[in-house]
Amino acid sequence: MFSRLKTIATIALAVVAVASSAAAIASFVASPAAGNAAGAVVNQPAPEFTGIDKWLNSDPLTMQQLRGKVVLVDFWTYTCINCIHVLPYVETWNKKYKDQGLVVVGVHTPEYSFERETDNVQKAIKRLGVTYPVAQDNHYKTWGAYDNQYWPAVYLVDKKGNVVYTHFGEGDYDQTEAKIKALLAENS
């Protein structure tokens, strides 16, 4: 009888632990501040692209030369399924708003060693239809400058050069696009 009661108590404790962990995760994900909690650079000047091994689809870019433009920085890697799901939205925003002052920069930061190979990244860019500039951040220097922790991660930089919005993971595409529009409408 005692061992059966002990087993039931152990199971009940495990269920409570799992439920409270799930609730904590759900409240973090649902929190409007959660999107900005990880990005230590929010409301600060955007870090420069640093430690870039190679620029693809573009000559090298700097945040200084992009001042006066709205910049979308997208941290991604070509084998991340979540990144692949986000790319069509980023590409659409690039095509839709580049003539209005949006500059999209993909920062390809590899998760696996084979993703460091420029040839592999170039093939993925072609296969995935990425037309905007891509900075190959093989040593996580730009990733670290942004204090980034996630793939995919979107950072929006205003015309004054400050990070004003972040989004981590998939989703909230309408909210991100609305922020792009609002930033483009602002005077420098």
Q: pLDDT tens digits, residue range 112-151? A: 999 999 999 999 999 999 999 999 999 999 999 999 999 9
Q: pLDDT tens digits, residue range 30-69? A: 333 334 445 568 889 999 999 999 999 999 999 999 999 9
User: What was the pLDDT predicted at 26?
Assistant: 37
d(CA 90, CA 49): 19
User: What was the pLDDT predicted at 29?
Assistant: 38
108 bridge partner residues? 76, 136
Domain covering 36-185, topology: Glutaredoxin (3.40.30)
With cut-offs at 50, 70 and 90, classify the pLDDT of residue 187: confident
CA atoms within 13 A on the CB side of 62: 2
Which ranges of 71-169 does DSSP label H, i.e. alpha helix? 81-97, 118-128, 141-145
Q: Which residue has the higher pLDDT, 14 or 138?
A: 138
With cut-offs at 50, 70 and 90, classify the pLDDT of residue 188: low
User: What does pTM read for this prediction?
Assistant: 0.80
Residue type, 8: I
Which ranges of 98-172 does DSSP label H, i.e. alpha helix? 118-128, 141-145
Residue 178 CA: distances (Å) to CA of 43, 73, 96, 149: 18, 16, 13, 24
Which residue, chain included where needed, has tokens 């979107």?
A: 154
Q: What residues contact 183, with CB distance under 8 A and at least 6 apart?
A: 70, 156, 158, 159, 164, 165
With cut-offs at 50, 70 and 90, classify the pLDDT of residue 6: low
User: What was the pLDDT predicted at 15?
Assistant: 43
134 — phi, psi (to 5°)?
-130, 125
Q: pLDDT tens digits, residue range 66-119? A: 999 999 999 999 999 999 999 999 999 999 999 999 999 999 999 999 999 999
Q: Which residue has the higher pLDDT, 75 or 20?
A: 75
